Chain A
Amino acid sequence: MIYFALLILVIISYLFYYIGKKRALNLKFNGNIKLSSQPDYFGYYVVLMALIPALLMWFGLLLFKGNFQEMFVMSPILFPDISTWSDGKLGLILNKLNNLSVIVNLPLDDLTNGEKSILNMASENELTAAKNLANFDKIYGWSNLTLFIILPIILGFLATRSISGKLNAQPIVEKIITYIIKGSSYIAILITIGIFLSLVFEAINFFRYVNPVDFFFSTGWNPNRAFVVDASEGFDKDDLENAFGFIPLLTGTLLIATVAMIVAIPLGLMSAIYLAEYASKRVRDIAKPIIEILAGIPTVVYGFFAALSLAPFIKDVGESVGLPVSAESALAAGLAMGVMIIPFVSSLSDDVIKAVPQSLRDGSYALGATRSETIKKVILPAALAGIMGSFLLAVSRAIGETMIVVMAASLRANLTFNPLEPATTITTQIVTSLIGDVEFDNPKTLVAFALGLTLFLMTLLLNILAITIVKKYREKYE
Chain B
Amino acid sequence: MHATLNHYLVVSVLLFSLGLFGVLARRNLLVIYMGLELMLNAANLALVAFSRYNANLNGQVMVFFTITVAAAEVSVGLALIVALYRKRQTAHVEDLTSLKL
The answer on A and B forming one complex is no
Chain A residues engaging chain B, CB cutoff 8 angstroms: none
